[in-house]
Amino acid sequence: MALRTRNKISAAFSMSSMTDIVFLLLIFFMLTSTLVTTNAIDLLLPNAKKPKVESAPAVSISIDKNLTFYVNRDPVAKEFLEATMMKQLSDAENKTVVLRVEQGVAIENAVYVMDIANQNRVKLVLATKPQK
């Protein structure tokens, strides 16, 4: 007596679970990409041949043509720049500062910030605009 099984293995592939995963990933990346913003002021930066890209800078210091100093978009007086910068860097693992100086600003102001970074043993990266 031969017994037959009623369960048959289906060779068809269901795409519904795959599309659910793709849509979830799409939503995840769309949400996380909108949360990524840079803490920088819009400045006209000097040009460079090969700009070096730094990943996740801890602090951004900007100097505009009016000689206003900014630490992560917050205006700071020149005499309080070092204290504010070190306060921002106190929790950072890699102590990195991105210096953004607008074209036409005297080099002495950039050297002032570089000197502060050097005295406190902080890595400093000078931001430039890539050539097209």
Distance (Å, whole) CA 121 – CA 99: 15
Residue in this structure with the two tokens 């900007």, named with its chain if needed: 62
Domains recognised in the chain with CATH numbers: 47-130 (3.30.420.270)
The confidence score (pLDDT) of residue 72 equals: 87
Confidence of residue 30 (pLDDT cuts 50, 70, 90): confident
Structure tokens at 2: 């031969």
The confidence score (pLDDT) of residue 76 equals: 92
The confidence score (pLDDT) of residue 70 equals: 93
Higher-pLDDT residue of 17 and 2 is: 17
Please enumerate in sequence order all residues whose Cβ is within 8 A of that of 61, keeping only pairs 6 or more positions apart, or say none. 69, 70, 71, 81, 85, 97, 98, 99, 100, 113
Higher-pLDDT residue of 1 and 119 is: 119
Tens of pLDDT, residues 72-130: 889 999 999 999 988 888 877 788 888 999 888 888 988 999 999 989 888 888 887 76
The confidence score (pLDDT) of residue 59 equals: 85
Burial class (CB in 10 A: 0-12, 13-18, 19+), 1: exposed
Tens of pLDDT, residues 32-77: 877 666 655 666 666 666 656 555 556 889 999 999 999 988 999 9
The confidence score (pLDDT) of residue 17 equals: 84
